[in-house]
Structure 1
Amino acid sequence: MIMSNYNDIGIDSSLDWPRIRKLFIIGLIGGIMTFVGDWLLGYGVYDESLTGLEKKLSQYLILSDGTLFWSAFLGLIGISLEGLCYFGIYRLIASGSMKHAHIFRSGVFGYMLFAACGVHVPCLSTVFFYSHMMLASPENAYDLTIKFGLYFLLPALTLFLIFFLVMSAAQISAFAKGLTPYPKWCWIFSMPVGMGATMLLKFAGNHAVVNGLTAAWISIGNIWMFGGLLLTMKKAKGGHKHEI
């Protein structure tokens, strides 16, 4: 019996390119769904008379409950699809480095646990809370919203960030070292690159389109990653190396 040196969770020993391509397409669709949800939340302008987090929260006061629901729902489904489809990247990494694959997969599990239900939906819950507190008790709305976020959002957000950094570092390292079938330069098709480029738009100022795009920075990172890996897949099929 041939034993694998890593827990392959039922994935074939040989690379199944049609399956990987399908995962990337589904992941791209999930990224687009999440982008729409983030856009619904972020499209708008801040109240320039305010400062700090209160200024940021001011743009959400005009959003309807229905908008908040669809933003939360689309992100819930889209982020879940993204997380499942990271296993296409896991297979690419596992073909060349079992060590990197283990680390990447650990990050994926954390992402799936915390990204949608731990971070995205609680973010929308916090916005919903602030919006209705401003109607019921505007003098207490900001302080109570901060407390709400610290209690019910920050713990999961912290865990999410740890797993996200682990996942991203393992992916970038594996690609940059040539441990996948892709050219080394394809490390640029990772979430941090797309996210970082999107956040540069912040320098453009307080505009509805800019705020909508920067609110969607993580989903844009996913679209950049899955889209880039799909477009360059033909360059990747020439072969791959195995870590000794």
Structure 2
Amino acid sequence: MEKEKGGLGLRKLVPLNKALLGKWIWRFACEKENLWKQVLLAKYGQEGFGWKTKKVNGSFGVGVWKEILKEKDWCWENMAFTIGNGTKIRFWTDLWCDCTVLFQRFPHLYGMAAHRNVTIEEMWDQNVGPGGWDLRFVRDFNDWELDMVGNLLHVLRGYRLTSEEDVVYWKGGRNGQFKVKEAYNLVVNTVANNFLKSFKKEGGNSRIVVSCVAAKRNINCKGGLIELEGSFCRGKKEKDMKVYPVVHPWDSLEGKK
């Protein structure tokens, strides 16, 4: 627990380990010509224009990169692209525009797209004045679909290609950079939120009861012993005993399943 909340400021090992491994996912996506990255690309092959390696297969031993790749999902959920020349970002399926993936925001138009796996560069026409979007679909639009196209163009209006390279950034980081401390907090908060969601039930009003295995109601110190009273306590325990918190779904305490 953080010192600000009355704790010792010690970090939990599992979230810290995930954050440290996640940093390598970030570094692989960001760093260009590092030797270690070139070795991994040569060994496993590339995916996504070199932002990722392909999945590591093999049942013998535990490879370091194989373990690191277990953290790629939550890492990429918190990464997005800044467009440059548009050659390494997928127009429809990568996260680059207005904090949303276009095929999720416009699924109907995505279904009509002439090419669904195109890059941003392939959807940009440099020969139209200062440049503009060249959206290609398999058929003409019905009247009721024109608003969708207008909304898509409205979303795209502030984006233009440049001569710079495409880059990736960390959505929750300062200046778009990955920091272990921020990633650690993200993992801890995600675990806590998922834990609470696991008790949510439709149409119900579930509660969580936190007790102690050695549930203490009153603590009496007598010599070298601590006397505990409570529903889970019997007899006397030594002073250095450990009290472990246990979380029970309220329904389970009522005998429900």
TM-score, normalised to structure 2, is 0.23
TM-score, normalised to structure 1, is 0.23
Greater C-alpha radius of gyration = 2
Answer 1 or 2: higher relative contact order, Cα 8 Å, separation at least 6. Answer: 1
Greater strand content: 2
